[in-house]
Structure 1
Amino acid sequence: MELTWVLANAAALFLLWLFVAAGSSKLQRSNGNYYAVVFTGYGIPPGFWAQQLPKMVGLVEVIVGMMVVVPALRQWGAIAAAAILASYFLLVAWQLMQGKTGMDCGCAGPDDEIKISGHLLIRNLLLLALALFCLLSVGSSGVMPWVMSVLAASIMVLLYLSCEQLMVTAQRIKLLYR
């Protein structure tokens, strides 16, 4: 069992979870107004584009998430995931340079309480590296490597959610000391 293969597949399964969760949140009708406000904050003009662009982005995210786990499409999916993450990194960096530190990141919907910050930039660089790591996956088969990949992906999801909660807590503590 090759460790690189197991970890690259774990990264792909993690990105499937991440992109499908983010995309499906944008596709939910009940989140439409929230994402229109978030996208307006990122510079999209209010109105038609602020309402429709989140749906288009959500659909692309779901498709890219699925592409990353299909071996024949993994290269394209990983490149598309990296491009989305790099674009989001640049959008957040631009907003931070504009001084918009209090706006919602829009990462996981209205229930997510993360504001844009330098921590978000670091997180996105790590996710970008993970997307590029998916490109290293080269053939292996058998049940055990897949079991290990699923377990590793589960740990990645738990780590991601824990880090996200730490960012929210740090932002709340920062607000208390202002």
Structure 2
Amino acid sequence: MKASMITAWWSLDPVLRIALHTGLALLLLSAASHKLRGFRAFKAALAGYDLVSDRWLTEVSRLVIGFELVTGLSLLLLGGFVPALAVAALLAMYTFAIAINLRRGRRDIDCGCAGPARHVPLGPGLVGRNILLIAAALIAVLPATPRSLVWLDAVTVFAAVAMLALLYSAAETALANAGRLRSADHSLLTEAMES
């Protein structure tokens, strides 16, 4: 098999790669912005996971936000293998923290991922969402196939990122609503059992 065929198979069209890098970078920068604007709420959400000592909670909260900012900016401005891999690692860490707490039966704590204005309780949907995001980040690690970009590629990237943002927003709303419904069902069941 020729080396050029292997390279072509293990590479992405540059438009797809740019769209993935941009979408993931904007997601991280938006998440960091939510956390900065609602630092106390994020710190409380992180405390709810019960994975960090109270002594280190402020520092770890700042570290998480800083890592999101640096990783998001690196992916947006530099692109490449290392920033995309760092995004996948960060998302894997979040997924692991969620999975640990789901295993503990702690579904009612806030994930800390939607900002202070919206409470999104932990659930398997968050794990699924994060696995899809990790897959996107791992795909974004692949090099771009060399080709010239034309003006239509910029339009395609913009449309793809806008579509990804809308899909992500819809998924976030669905996850938040599912959590509310689960809480309401639990409350109704508890009331019925007490009657």
Contact 1:35 1:51 in 2 (8 A): no
**Gap change, CA 1:32 and 1:69, over 3 Å in 2:** closer
Q: Which amino acid in structure 2 is aligned with residue 170 of structure 1?
A: A
Task: Please state if 1:21 is matched with 2:27.
Answer: no
Worse-matched range after superposition: 12-21 or 49-58: 49-58
SS in 2 for 1:104: coil
Aligned counterparts of 2:166 and 2:12: Cα–Cα separation in 1? 20
What's the counterpart of residue 44 of structure 1?
52
What's the counterpart of residue 174 of structure 2?
166
Deviation at 1:3, TM superposition (A): 7.6
Deviation at 1:156, TM superposition (A): 0.2
Task: Please state if 1:92 is matched with 2:98.
Answer: yes
Aligned counterparts of 1:130 and 1:6: Cα–Cα separation in 2? 14
Contact 1:101 1:117 in 2 (8 A): yes
Deviation at 1:14, TM superposition (A): 0.8
Gaps of 5+ in 1: none
Aligned counterparts of 2:133 and 2:61: Cα–Cα separation in 1? 21
Aligned counterparts of 2:19 and 2:142: Cα–Cα separation in 1? 12
What's the counterpart of residue 123 of structure 1?
129
Q: Which amino acid in structure 1 is aligned with residue 81 of structure 2?
A: Q
Aligned counterparts of 1:95 and 1:5: Cα–Cα separation in 2? 38
**CA offsets, 1:58-112, max 9 Å, x none?**
11111111212334x4211100000001111111101111111100000132112
Contact 1:21 1:108 in 2 (8 A): no
Deviation at 1:175, TM superposition (A): 2.3
Task: Please state if 1:175 is matched with 2:183.
Answer: yes
Contact 2:81 2:143 in 1 (8 A): no
Q: Which amino acid in structure 2 is aligned with residue 147 of structure 1?
A: V
What's the counterpart of residue 158 of structure 2?
150
Q: Which amino acid in structure 2 is aligned with residue 62 of structure 1?
A: L
2:120 to 114, 117, 122: 114
Task: Please state if 1:104 is matched with 2:113.
Answer: no
Aligned counterparts of 1:19 and 1:164: Cα–Cα separation in 2? 14
> How many percent of aligned residue pairs carry the same amino acid?
29
Aligned counterparts of 1:75 and 1:150: Cα–Cα separation in 2? 22
Higher Cα Rg, which structure? 2
What's the counterpart of residue 81 of structure 1?
87
Task: Name the TM-score, length of structure 2 as normaliser.
Answer: 0.81
Q: Which amino acid in structure 2 is aligned with residue 51 of structure 1?
A: T
Aligned counterparts of 1:108 and 1:168: Cα–Cα separation in 2? 9
SS in 2 for 1:177: helix
1:60 to 45, 56, 67: 67
Worse-matched range after superposition: 10-19 or 32-41: 32-41
